Structure 1
């Protein structure tokens, strides 16, 4: 997994934790935090914040969904590193070579 994917997953995890904790705090009565949340709920920025976080997560999950549906698995290649360089052979080439060898017998 490359660094960009790891960073993206970390951001999604942080945003998901923030959203889930805010939702949990709105449902349950937490002694010291519930008074703050009651004040926040009546503020105009609170709704915009919740909507913007929800929209951000919706866009990210739509990207994940489309990536999952339309992405192709990586081609299976065999890479051999020699003193003269790197040789890459695809799985289809190996299969066709093996089939031709079997047919000759």
Structure 2
């Protein structure tokens, strides 16, 4: 959607049962600290209260890297806790699978 010197902003949409959810994420890449991070982009009316997360990459020699993944999502009162748990169980494995494809694809994902 929008490319910036240190990352980009993109829009996400999903439907969970009867709820349509839209939000924009501001992604940052800090090559020096080997950190990829994201948070809700300012200036947009989001359908969630908070999304933030990061990958911190730690070299383990010439052929291996340890990636530490952190994420925090707060959907808000509009979504009951049971639906939030369902969405997490559904989306987290897909997020990690996309990351694996990105790593295996040398930073590219063909979708």
Instruction: Give TM-score scaled by structure 1 length.
Output: 0.32
Structure number with the higher helix fraction is 1
Structure with the higher strand share, 1 or 2: 2
TM-score, normalising length from structure 2?
0.30
Greater radius of gyration (CA)? 1
